[in-house]
Amino acid sequence: MPTFLAEDLSVLASGKPLLWGNPALKQASMQPSLQQALEFAPQVSRERILDAQLRMQRFAPLLARLFSELQPSDGRISSALIPAPRLQSALGLAREQGQLLVKCDHSLPVAGSVKARGGFHEVLEFAERLALRHGLLQPTDDYSLLAESPARKLFSGYRVAVGSTGNLGMAIGVIAAALGFEAIVHMSAEAKQWKKDRLRKRGVTVVEHSGDYAQAVEAGRQAALHDPNTHFVDDERSLSLMLGYAQAGQELKTQLGSAGIAVDAEHPLFVYLPCGVGGAPAGISVGIKQALGPHAHCIFAEPTQAPCFVLRMLQPEGEPMSIYDIGLSNQTEADGLAVPRASELAVGVMRPLLSAAYTVQDQDLFDALLLARDTEDLRLEPSAAAGLLGPLALTGSDAGRDWLTRMDIQRHLPQATHVAWTTGGSLVPDEQYAAFLAKGYRTNT
């Protein structure tokens, strides 16, 4: 279907919002192929996700000791799943189109964003490996001993580095510094000043780059290459990050179960995930598909000026293009999503698993951010508001309705569940947050 691709590509290049259904999705009626699709991502297997989950459990006592805000949860990192009826009606999503829930990763402890899932896991895995190798830890030990001086002394001889538009740097920087590592964060031009200040206050070295996210990552990767004592968290290629994100699938399954919400052919689930390089939403999606099966549909959201993931899905062959190649700017207030080229790992994993993707304009992000505050008192950053626009993009656009009909889901919408994944925002300083809200009012008053 080359003409289909060409049409979508021209809409994408025009910077207009679009909703795109993935023709390569392995569907519910193709159970064996869904299994194949999951096995197609053998790196993110069920066993490895479970492994990562057990690792986080082993580290929970240490995390509770290092961060007082994790004491109430005994060191567990998780977020609430909440019904959002007032936001649903403010967004204009009729009850006959399903029920809106919000998965509150914007309030994940310590990091204030989805990056707490992947970023923490990778740094903890590195710390565990070092401590085991140096005989400071037995697998059955209480890991809180890693807060004591022999381990801290060991960690202080190592560096953890990362390239980031902001939030990943915050998560990695905070956890690495708390363990006693030297932490270096390469920030791209989009990174907000307050994020740099916050990290520097915690003793993290922040290297500022005038280039975009891809350049910041490359600079960090190169710097780390020449230093055997540096662990570089590679947001474009890291499996450990993805496994950290993937644990969210089981968490969501448990929460839906407690709420008495079924996921099956008559009760489809749509999960709307803001997408930057693709690692976080892809990891979460694999976890969701593993835990909840083919009737859980994962749908990615990107800014109209930085739709790198959809672009690569539309252009599967050849060298990966960047969004600059089709005339887009990467300019967006959704700094967490301002990425010119998608992760090839994430694209490979998602090709058979992604149901759909859509793009959003910044103004719509600000409006949704404001509505989320006014109706449910959620404190979001612009990137995190992208998921809120999904249910309407899917049920209210011609392209979305066509897709729903083609998939034979349209008739089940009244029993559908829509989960908007709010990926960040609780740590945004008041002044910044007020500026976001003010931008929302512009069209609402």
Ligand X SMILES: *Cc1c(COP(=O)(O)O)cnc(C)c1O
Q: Between 280 and 404, whose beta carbon lies closer to ligand X? A: 280
| Of 17, 75, 268, 278, the one binding ligand X by CB under 6 A | 278
Q: Which phi and psi (to 5°) does residue 235 adopt?
A: -60, -20
Q: Determine, following the binding rule CB under 6 A, whether residue 426 of this chain makes contact with ligand X.
A: no
- Separation between Cα atoms, residue 21 and residue 70, nearest integer Å: 40
- Residue 357, H or E segment: strand 354-360
HSE value, Cβ hemisphere, 13 Å, CA-based, for 305:
14
| Of 424, 426, 428, 433, the one binding ligand X by CB under 6 A | 424
Cβ(103)–Cβ(252) below 8 Å: yes
* 206 conformational bin, left if phi > 0, alpha if psi -120 to 50, beta if neither: beta
Q: Determine, following the binding rule CB under 6 A, whether residue 387 of this chain makes contact with ligand X.
A: no
Q: Between 84 and 420, whose beta carbon lies closer to ligand X? A: 420
**Distance in Å, CB of 132 to ligand X, minimum:** 28
419 three-state secondary structure = strand
Q: Determine, following the binding rule CB under 6 A, whether residue 390 of this chain makes contact with ligand X.
A: no
Write the interaction track for ligand X spanning residues 318-347; mark x where CB under 6 A is met and - where it is not: ------------------xx----------
Look at the block and give the residue holding tokens 């066993």: 47
258 three-state secondary structure = helix
**Distance in Å, CB of 231 to ligand X, minimum:** 18
**Distance in Å, CB of 372 to ligand X, minimum:** 13
Q: Between 146 and 350, whose beta carbon lies closer to ligand X? A: 350
Q: Determine, following the binding rule CB under 6 A, whether residue 113 of this chain makes contact with ligand X.
A: yes
Interacting span for ligand X (CB under 6 A) from 220-228, 379-387, 394-402, 435-443? 379-387
What number of chain residues touch ligand X (CB under 6 A)? 20
Provide the pairing of β-strand 354-360 with 417-421.
Answer: unpaired
Cβ(276)–Cβ(165) below 8 Å: yes
**Distance in Å, CB of 254 to ligand X, minimum:** 23
Q: Which of residues 19-78 bind ligand X (CB under 6 A)?
A: none
* Long-range Cβ contact pairs of 66-73 (< 8 A, separation 24 or more): 66/147, 66/178, 66/179, 67/109, 67/110, 67/178, 69/109, 69/110, 70/109, 70/110, 73/109
The number of helix segments (H) and strand segments (E) in the chain equals 19, 11
Interacting span for ligand X (CB under 6 A) from 85-93, 246-254, 312-320, 376-384? 376-384
Q: Determine, following the binding rule CB under 6 A, whether residue 216 of this chain makes contact with ligand X.
A: no
Interacting span for ligand X (CB under 6 A) from 81-89, 94-102, 110-118, 147-155? 110-118
Look at the block and give the residue holding tokens 């897709």: 403
Q: Between 400 and 424, whose beta carbon lies closer to ligand X? A: 424
Q: Between 146 and 242, whose beta carbon lies closer to ligand X? A: 242
279 three-state secondary structure = helix
Q: Where are the alpha helices (DSSP H) in 41-166?
A: 46-66, 85-91, 115-133, 149-155
Q: Between 178 and 242, whose beta carbon lies closer to ligand X? A: 242
Interacting span for ligand X (CB under 6 A) from 2-10, 198-206, 273-281, 355-363? 273-281
Q: Where are the alpha helices (DSSP H) in 17-45?
A: 31-40
Which of 392, 380, 393 has the alpha carbon at shortest distance from 103? Answer: 380
**Distance in Å, CB of 50 to ligand X, minimum:** 22
Q: Between 114 and 353, whose beta carbon lies closer to ligand X? A: 114
Which of 421, 437, 358 has the alpha carbon at shortest distance from 114? Answer: 421
**Distance in Å, CB of 41 to ligand X, minimum:** 16
| Of 365, 423, 427, 428, the one binding ligand X by CB under 6 A | 423
**Distance in Å, CB of 296 to ligand X, minimum:** 19
Which of 296, 212, 233 has the alpha carbon at shortest distance from 38? Answer: 296
- Residue least distant from ligand X (Cβ): 276
Q: Determine, following the binding rule CB under 6 A, whether residue 109 of this chain makes contact with ligand X.
A: no
**Distance in Å, CB of 166 to ligand X, minimum:** 7
- Separation between Cα atoms, residue 282 and residue 346, nearest integer Å: 6
**Distance in Å, CB of 345 to ligand X, minimum:** 11
Which of 171, 133, 162, 217 has the alpha carbon at shortest distance from 427? Answer: 171
Q: Kindly list the residues in this chain that would bind ligand X in the complex (CB under 6 A).
A: 113-115, 167-168, 274-281, 336-337, 381, 383-384, 423-424
